[in-house]
Structure 1
Amino acid sequence: MGTISPRVRLGGVSVLLPTKREAANLRHLLPRIHGQLRSILDDNYEILVVDDPSDDGTESVCHAHNARYIGETGLGFAAALRRGFRESRKAWVLTMDADGSHDPQYFPHLMAAAEHADIVICSRYLPRSSQRSSWFRRFTSRLLNTWLKWRCRVPINDLSGGFKLYWRPIFDEIQILSQGFEVQVEITTRAFARGFRLCEIPFCYKPRLEGRSKAAMIRYGLAFFRRAEQLHRLRSGSDNPDYQEHAGLWRKIFHQPQVVTCLDRILDTQPILTIALGSAPLVLENPRAICLEIPQHIPVLRYLSADPHRRLLLAPDGAPLPFPSRTFNSIICDLSAISDPVSLCREILRVASPSGNLVFITPCSFTHLPGPLQELLGDPTDTFSFGSHQLLFYQRSS
């Protein structure tokens, strides 16, 4: 276990427990939650129980163990989570089942991992993880999560689990539409689509302490499949921060033999600057390149900054580039994302070496660069079209 993240220690934690007839389990669980949190956070935490009321005494158990109780008749699981996220008072929200299957001993591990993540997930499908349940449930759960990971294109092995630590500002940027347990995959997928950082840690899933599970397996699985199809459409949009990384069109152009030949020649000439390329394969495959992004699309910046090995810099659109003159031997820029391409090209010519290589991505509607750019750069050495865009190569001579 690492050191508890200062982000968590300063911001505090709201533990959120959606419940329905779980009084017997809460009597065992609430004292253990208090014990763990006091040892980690002193008094900078709260326990919030959102309940579909019944006559089992859940409210009195909460009062007896210093937990905030919110009762609302007819709340489904997703609605209970939404209510809890709204009512939480701390910077972090830790969700867990109230049946004892999620052990509070993992709290320190969750809070340590939050130093470099916005959602930390206790996963049943990592090395050193385990799941104490029937072989049928283990098989169906693993099958479901493997399919969810592929369909939603989220790099998480356990998307359906509910033992998670969330940075609360996430919920200011995403809309939750689910009604049932499929909300688990929806929150994580929508957060990842906004560029928030995800992390998994191993844990042991235990059988519930008392009572029976409220989940109906067939209805539960169908809801997950329907929601995953909707999320697949969301994750296929061009506004996703990793769109270029997965888009077939981008991969196709950057792997064409003629383009590869030109790029290989360019990429051998360090140092390299890329501008406004987002998560294009060219960026991800060249970690030595300096990546300059225009801070217009915040999710892209979040996504790229999550890579600790990437040299990511920001520059406002139209501002001078923060480099000395004649710094780079190769510069690759997506001009279609720039509002003032003329000013940027003047800066590119300043920071490029006199005999450097320049590559521009432009809309195909530009048979050549717009007037002022054409005067600055002249005609390209090579041109390659792909879909609605084209690559323009310039080999400058000193």
Structure 2
Amino acid sequence: MQVQDTQKTELPLHLGTQAVTDRQWFWPLLGLQEAWKTTEGKGITVAVIDTGVASNHPDLRSTLLPGRDYVDGDLTPQDVSGHGTHVAGLIGAHGQVKGAAPQVALLPVRVIGPDGGSVSDLIQGLLWAAGLDPEHPNPHPAQVINLSLGTPEYSERLAEAVQQVLKAGVIVVAATGNDGGLPYSPANLPGVIAVTSVNGPVTTYQPTYANRGPGTRIAAYGGDLNADQNQDGERDGILSTDITSAGAPGYALRNGTSMAAPQVSGIAALLLAQGTPAHQVKALLEGQATDLGVSGMDLTTGWGLVNARPLQGEVGMIAAALDEKGRVITYVRPEQGQFTLNSLPPNTSITVIAGMDREGNGVIGEAGELFGTVKTTTSTAGQISKAAITLQPTDGRSAVALNK
């Protein structure tokens, strides 16, 4: 079984000496400028399990941690194809181009060579990146792992390794693939944030190459080198760090779900850096996504286009108590994730709900919003014991309108 990267095509560029972040048209559309006012990802480590990373690239070298190479069996995960360097730049570059989280630390892990890679190498790389390899301790375990690679075949060993990494609290982001079919593995495994591709920069659409279907969770910009929507004379590819045909540091436009996945990984790192617990990141990414296509979750783009605009505290979050007929008794806006419901009837069965009112219309639990519920009984004093509510994206069938 062979593992391959999920890049579609590439177009090398020769850039001048000035910054070209304005040519990264996808960052403003995802709300990154707003997010960077809050954090740029400092203190978070993201593993790039790929073809390696160019250690001498000026936009990356200051952020690279010591990595491993499972293709050549050494500690020098040097990129020879440019794919991993491009992916790494979309996560953490800070120079002529910028990544989604330009202050993260990048952990390069090489598992793909010129002839592809093996599932065994991928498994070893996964476990080491997460700090789960007892034979080879990792002094810098990643909180986020990016997998812009995949295989159309199923591997039970790979599935078990992914679950082991997820149980350790590591966020795993994977590209769905580029043959227009169903999502590849490991993107299609439970718990993984499977990222498909859409294109801009004017009208959002899904290129034919993007794999989609069951397991797809979210979309990001993978570009389309066959288009020039804004007619600026440059193809609608995704600009990032790369290497030239001679192996020197460079830049290139590429397209593919490989380019979409690291955007999500970078935004996940921003959420972690601003204090979001790791177990909430997947739900927040999906709950904040900009809905595309049919309302709510769909098999084409999942919960929609990833959105980096940060939550401002608990603005938009509401908790409420409902009686047995589903009528609202009372509701409050949580502060720092905590809330107290007052004026509850004693010795009464109630349903406590909480969720995001993203539209600000007084309705929580609409399609794509975060929503959670728990049933309980009040005490003789009209109180309830503490209960945790887990928020997950909802399809809208449990939406509740509140009295304003």
TM-score normalised to structure 1 length: 0.30
Instruction: Mark the structure with the bigger radius of gyration.
Output: 1
TM-score (norm 2): 0.29
Structure with greater helix percent: 1
